[in-house]
A and B are shown apart, each in its own frame.
Chain A
Amino acid sequence: MKVESPLTFRTTLPELEGYFRPKSLDEALSLLSELGERAKIYAGGTDLLIDMRLRNIGNKVVVDIKEINELRGIREEGDSIFIGATTTIHEIKTSSLIASRLPLLKQVVERFADQFIRTRATVGGNLCNASPAADTPLALLIYGSEVEIASVAGRKRVPIKDFFKGVKRTILAPGELVTGVRVPVPQGRQRVKYLRFDRSSEDLMIVGIAGAVFEGREPGDFEFSLSYGAVAPTPLLFKGLQDAYKRGGADEVLKIVKEKVSPISDVRASKEYRMHLVEVGTRLIIKELLGGV
């Protein structure tokens, strides 16, 4: 005999204990510090509202950060580009600065969801939600970006490869807020390719693979990197694959990659199919980016 909690499906959103819409970063940070674990940051809400309806999160006080001007926009700052946390995916997709300097990021956001979601969804939300199937990290990882984090205690920058801790987990502590992401602009020529496997257009990825070749000063000198989505608890980055490639081509690269990828079977795809896509996708990207080298 078993007593089971019943199967029910919520239609409503939870009642909120509070809703704040700070106008400045300082105001937001002190709110977050005051509220601690009870606070939930609300940017575009495209992940948050779903989690709230399904009662995946318990936080009851929502801090809406969309009206903080400081968190918005795309700026060139020296050798890097700063993208504010609440910059929408649509803004990134239509930015000429991104198109010319960070073409891999452009390719990645072109495959991101649909127009409705892109006009709501933010890059900060995409990073902080920490889904293994998130798109923007794949480009941001390859460019060697840094995530900028603020709290009442001060500000810090963290390499994006250290930002993700697991499925839906980041290094962020209560009271902390991501203000944006700083992306170094490659100085030489870059060849980039994003291959994304999905079940329909405008779908979440089954597997995403981003690749880039950054050319160095000397002819024949280049850096080759790959990143993978939805094949491990966090997005995976492989930097400096050029030596393996020169040693043994795609086979050698795949040896390194396969050591780290650990896809799961879920409703979207089986582990076997994901491994298959890693294999053929990696080969396709290598052919496209390095086939002529």
Chain B
Amino acid sequence: MQEEKYLYIRKPIPRRDIDKLTGEAQFIADIEIPGALWMKLVGSPYPHARILEIDTSEAEKVPGVEAVLTGKDFPFKIGHHIRDRDVLARDRALYVGHPVAAVIAETLEAAEKAAELVRVKYEPLPYVLDPLEAMKPDAPLLHPNLGEYEHLPFLYPVPGTNIAHKFKLRKGSIKDGEREADVVVEEEYRLPMLHHSYLEPWGAAARVRSDGTIEIWTSSQGPFAVRTQLAHSLHIPESRIVVHYLYVGGGFGAKSDLFLEYLPVLASMKLNGRPVKLILNREESFYYGFHRAEYIFRMKTGARKSDGKIVFHKGEYIYGTGHAADLGSLLGNTIGWLATGPYDIPNVWIDSYTVYTNKPTTTAFRNYTHTELWFAFEQQMDILAERLGMDPVEFRLRNLIKPGASTLPTGQQISEDWGDPEGVLKRAAELIEWGKEPEQPREPWKRRAKAIVMAPKGPSMPPNITTSAIVKMNEDGSVDLLTGVAEIGQGTLNSLAMMVAEELQIPLEKVRVYGIDRDTSNTPYDWETCASRATFAIGQAVLKAVDDLKQQIKQLASQILRVDPSSIEIRDGKAVVKGEPWKALKLEEVAMGYTFPDGHAIHGQLIGRGSWVPRRTTGLDEEGRGHPLEFVTYSAQAVEIEVDILSGRIDILKAVAVADTPFINKILALGQAYGGALMGINVALREEIKFDENGKILNPGFTDYKIARAGDIPKSIIVEFLSTKLLHDAPYGAKGIGEVFLGGWPAAIANALYRAIGVRIKRAPLSPERVVEEIKKQKPDLLENIVKKLGGE
């Protein structure tokens, strides 16, 4: 492909959707629905308790209260992947915060006041907060009826336990591997539950119209996903549900599936269709929202001295999903098949467990288990390299998958058009100046070091998810593009507009993309904005739709100009006969069909349509065999850090990210890269939902759930996009980039810390306090010597 021929693609084109700057953007809290009622939830103060009685009489007396609903009002379970959620806790509350009642009132004030008057009698029950404890045979059971829950076919719950899903992956023979290994590293890594920290707390409103249509406004990454999952959960046909698109103030995975939309929907059904609004505040987002799971990775990996090859990898990957696994079980699946990263390992044995605990529930988090797995796996790699006495970059180079030759542990071939894993690693090494020792600071209590890790991302999506697009021409030759994409801040609408303008060679201003003025009944289907797929997948549907439109233009023009359609090309907003540029029709002359001089007309409005489904993917069988990946975006990430041994604080002096993919819009691509890097670095250093011993959240807000601020941005972030291969079946060869830049930082920082001071931290985050704690455990002399230098005893 000749790159330079593009008008718009690959160019740094500023966003045209500036509604957020002008204040015109409408978020859920801005939506006014006449007659809307407010809902307020009442949470359980216990991590696990039998609900003996709920007294709502005092609450009902508060002026303005319309209803107080409890679990009894909804005697069924809901869920899409596994039906394990109560609408409101029925017999038992399963975590601190579990909604046991919902007050609905004329005003939020009245609802809040009444919520505080709901009286619940509980019988506290034994509970379990730690996933490893939860897996023990005598652990208190969250879901004694797990065996009876309806679930999708590829999930494997283990009845009588807290294991919501067990995934197995087997390749080769671990015994053979163990026999060949000269060095074996066995470690355990842990990552805590995280909040997605979207700026806009989640909210939704719903009403039932007199014709029975359920209308929903929600802060969602996937209006269609909400529709599908709600329809399935409540046994309602999809066509009866209409979900409106809104501006979304960030999602990062939390808003990618059905959230709590069912609460206002069911409440509205109970209240003769009156609109009901539920808008969470930040504390409620922590208690009622969905989080990133906590993870425990147990890994045993062996390598050969002679050639530095990894010969086996055995893993037990544990995903603590909280009290429900409706969404978590899929992630438990992904950590399973992702098992060995971008390395070619002949013998693999993985068991991944999705485990219930008495905590809030979990869902997708940007980079869908990759960041977490890399935290473990890429530390494992550095430890192995050290034991083998090899340079960690060299060690990785020897073990990387080979495009066209290697297979994933699932058996899927590594496709050549996915790119060049070696290339990204080598380029990252150059950019961080690998091999050149960092200059050490003057203060003896500060040390610097570098590290590099691999951090690819393969999107995890069901094999049959589809998307489609419609382009229609207007009288003036402009084009409207209609897709189901949810714009959650990433700018996809802009990239899609660029594609249409590029293909028709018309000014960008002549393409109008439907943003929030849409709902699921008037747009083509799209699964959701997640898995780094919006531009990639919808882009393909858009290109097909534009292609369809172009065929129609050519067909029509050929009739008018009396030439063969194949001799017509579309450029500069015209249909032109090749080699005879004086024979041309402006697009506005054919947009509504063509009218001949005598007034008779042909064809009518030109409308193109296109649909897309992944071509390469399949489901996985119960041994984990199959083709889960449409593509992989290879990436390597490197850091130079400075650690203050006295305070334990880690500063990132330089961050390097290399990804092997071209992009559509340079500004938006860099936005994803910088945003991803900052988020990933923050996840590495600061983020953790802290629970007390009774399962109560200690930091349900940004005072104590720490997000990096301006002063924490690394002094130097270097991002490079390689373009070693153009992916087939992709818009202009571009793969997804929404998540990959989050990937390697926690692992890279942990490895760099080890290289700086010889302290290995296998538990995230690497907070200053944890660093000091680990120094004291692993290297007490280090600290003591520095204190001595400061004039201590």
A residues near B, CB below 8 A?
1-12, 15, 114, 197, 199-204, 249-251, 267-270, 273, 276-277, 279-281, 283-284, 286-287, 291
A270 and B769 in contact, given A2-B122, A7-B287, A202-B709 (Cβ under 8 angstroms): yes
Contact A7 B112 (CB under 8 A): no
**Which residues of the partner chain B approach A199 to less than 8 Å between Cβ atoms?**
686, 706, 767-768
Q: Closest residue of chain B to A279, judged by CB?
A: B787
Report how many A-B pairs have Cβ atoms within 8 Å. Answer: 120
Chain A residue nearest to B649 (CB atoms) is: A197
Q: Give chain B nearest CB distance to A288 CB in angstroms.
A: 10
In the bound complex, what is the Cα–Cα distance between A8 and B699 (angstroms)? 15
Say whether B766 faces chain A, with CB atoms less than 8 Å apart: no
* Cβ-defined contact, A1 with B122, below 8 A: yes
Complex interface: chain B residues within 8 A of A284 (CB): 646, 790
**Residue from B703, B769, B773, B792 in contact with A283 in the complex, judged by beta carbons closer than 8 Å:** B792
B41 touches A8 (CB 8 A): yes
Q: How far is the CA of A115 from the CA of B227 in the complex (A)?
A: 42
CA A172 to CA B96, docked complex, whole Å: 38
Q: Which of B46, B115, B647, B708 has the most CB of A within 10 A?
A: B647
Chain B CB within 10 A, most for which of A12, A251, A270, A281: A12
With A6-B42, A7-B44 known as contacts, the answer to whether A268 contacts B109 (CB < 8 A) is: no
CA distance A286 to B649 in the complex (A): 20
A4, B787: Cβ atoms closer than 8 Å: no
Contact of B710 among A197, A201, A203 (CB under 8 A): A201
Bound CA span A11–B287, Å: 14
B699: nearest chain-A partner, CB-CB: A267
Q: Assess whether B13 is interfacial by the CB under 8 Å rule.
A: no
| B775 → A minimal CB distance (Å) | 10
Residue among A4, A15, A249 making CB contact with B45, cutoff 8 Å: A4
Enumerate 27 A-B pairs (CB-CB under 8 Å) in ascending A order: A1-B122, A2-B122, A2-B124, A3-B120, A4-B45, A5-B45, A5-B119, A6-B42, A6-B115, A6-B120, A8-B40, A8-B115, A9-B281, A11-B108, A15-B109, A114-B710, A197-B647, A199-B706, A199-B767, A199-B768, A200-B712, A201-B709, A201-B712, A204-B703, A267-B698, A267-B704, A284-B646
Q: Is the CB of A200 within 8 A of B686?
A: yes
**B residues apposed to A, CB below 8 Å:** 40-46, 52, 96-97, 100-101, 108-109, 112, 115-116, 118-124, 279, 281, 283-284, 287, 646-647, 649, 686, 690, 698-700, 703-704, 706-712, 767-769, 772-773, 787, 790-793
A283–B792 CA distance with the chains assembled, in angstroms: 8
User: In the complex, what distance in Å separates the CA atom of A277 from the CA atom of B769?
Assistant: 10
* B115 & A283 in contact (Cβ 8 Å cutoff): no
- Measured between beta carbons, the chain B residues less than 8 angstroms from A287 are 790-791
In the complex, which residues of chain A have a beta carbon less than 8 angstroms from the beta carbon of B109? 12, 15
Selected from A8, A11, A291, the residue in CB contact (under 8 A) with B42 is A8
The answer to whether A8 and B646 touch across the interface, beta carbons within 8 angstroms, is no
CA distance A37 to B704 in the complex (A): 31
In the bound complex, residues from chain A placing their C-beta under 8 Å from that of B281 are 9-11
Looking at the assembled complex, report how far the CB atom of B568 sits from the nearest CB atom of chain A, in whole angstroms. 58
When C-beta atoms are compared, the residue in chain A nearest to B123 turns out to be A1
Bound together, the chains give a CA A1 to CA B112 distance in angstroms of 26
Contact B43 A8 (CB under 8 A): yes
Q: Contact between A273 and B97 (Cβ–Cβ < 8 Å)?
A: no
Q: Which 8 A-B pairs have the closest CB atoms?
A: A201-B711, A7-B43, A9-B283, A280-B646, A267-B698, A6-B42, A283-B790, A11-B281
Q: Are B45 and A251 in contact (CB under 8 A)?
A: no
Contacts of B711 in A (CB 8 A): 200-202
Q: Tell me which residues across on chain A come within 8 A of B791, comparing CB atoms.
A: 249-250, 283, 286-287, 291
Within 8 Å by CB of A269, from B115, B119, B769, B790, lies: B769
Closest CB in chain A relative to B649 CB, distance in Å: 8
On whether the beta carbons of A202 and B710 are closer than 8 Å, the reply is: yes
Contact A7 B772 (CB under 8 A): no
Assess whether B712 is in contact with A4, with CB atoms less than 8 Å apart: no
Instruction: Give every chain B residue within 8 A of A277 (Cβ-Cβ).
Output: 647
Q: Which residues of A contact B709 (CB under 8 A)?
A: 114, 200-203
Q: Tell me if B647 and A200 are in contact (CB < 8 A).
A: no
Cα distance A6–B68 in the bound complex, in angstroms: 14
Extra A-B contacts (5), CB below 8 Å, given A7-B287, A200-B711, A251-B793: A6-B101, A8-B112, A199-B706, A203-B709, A268-B704
Q: Using CB atoms, name the residue of chain A closest to B59.
A: A6
- Collect the chain B residues with CB atoms within 8 Å of residue A268's CB: 704
Q: With a 10 A CB-CB cut-off, give which of B52, B124, B768, B769 has the most chain A CB atoms.
A: B769
- Nearest chain A CB to B570's CB is how many angstroms away? 51
Given the complex of chains A and B, what is the CA–CA distance between A170 and B123 in angstroms? Answer: 42
Contacts of A279 in B (CB 8 A): 787
Q: How far is the CA of A270 from the CA of B791 in the complex (A)?
A: 26
Nearest-neighbour CB distance to chain A for B98, whole angstroms, equals: 9
Q: Considering the chains assembled together, what is the distance between the CA atoms of A6 and B123 in angstroms?
A: 14
Q: How far is the CB of A232 from chain B (nearest CB, A)?
A: 19
Q: Are A4 and B120 in contact (CB under 8 A)?
A: yes
Q: Which residues of B contact A11 (CB under 8 A)?
A: 108, 112, 279, 281
Residue of B nearest to A250 (CB): B791
For the complex formed, measure the closest distance between the CB of A135 and the CB atoms of chain B, giving whole angstroms.
15
**Minimum C-beta distance from A238 to chain B (A):** 18
Measured in the bound complex, the distance between the Cα atoms of B517 and A143 in whole Å is: 61
Inter-chain contact A3/B712, CB cutoff 8 Å: no
**Least Cβ distance of B540 to chain A in Å?**
40
| CA A284 to CA B646, docked complex, whole Å | 9
Kindly list chain B residues whose C-beta atoms are within 8 Å of the C-beta of A2: 121-124
Residues of A within 8 Å of B124, CB to CB, are 2
| CB pair B287 A9 closer than 8 Å | yes
Return chain A residues, CB-CB under 8 Å to B283.
Answer: 9
B769 surroundings in chain A (CB, below 8 A): 269-270, 273
- Contact indicator A6/B646 (Cβ below 8 Å): no
Give every chain B residue within 8 A of A3 (Cβ-Cβ): 119-122
Q: In whole Å, how far is A156's beta carbon from the nearest beta carbon of chain B?
A: 34
Question: Nearest B residue to A53 by beta-carbon distance?
Answer: B281
Across-interface contacts of A202 in B (CB, < 8 A):
709-711
Nearest B residue to A197 via CB reads B647
Known: A200-B708, A201-B710. A251 touches B112 (CB 8 A): no
Docked-complex contact B707 and A200, CB < 8 angstroms? yes
Q: Which residues of B contact A291 (CB under 8 A)?
A: 791
Residues of chain A within 8 A (CB-CB) of B710 are 114, 201-202
Inside 8 A of B279's CB, which chain A residues have their CB? 11
Question: Within the assembled complex, what's the spacing in Å between the Cα atoms of A200 and B681?
Answer: 12
B123 proximity list for chain A (CB < 8 A): 1-2
State in angstroms the CA–CA spacing of A9 and B287 once bound together.
10
A5, A11, A202, A268, most chain B CB atoms within 10 A: A11
B646–A9 contact, CB under 8 A?
no
Give the CA-CA distance A281 to B648 in the complex, in Å: 12
- Contact between A200 and B112, CB atoms less than 8 A apart: no
Q: How far is the CB of B535 from chain A (nearest CB, A)?
A: 32
Are B792 and A250 neighbours in the complex by a CB distance under 8 Å? yes
A84 to B109, CA, bound (A): 37
The listed residue (A6, A250, A286) touching B118 by CB distance below 8 A is A6
Residues of chain A within 8 A of B96, CB atoms compared: 7
CB-nearest residue of chain A relative to B117?
A6
CA of A80 to CA of B566 in the docked complex: distance in angstroms? 89
Is B706 in contact with A203, judged by CB distance below 8 angstroms? Answer: yes
Least distance between B282 CB and chain A CB atoms (Å)? 8
Q: What is the bound-complex CA distance between A284 and B124, given in angstroms?
A: 50
Q: How far, in Å, is A206 (CB) from chain B's closest CB?
A: 8
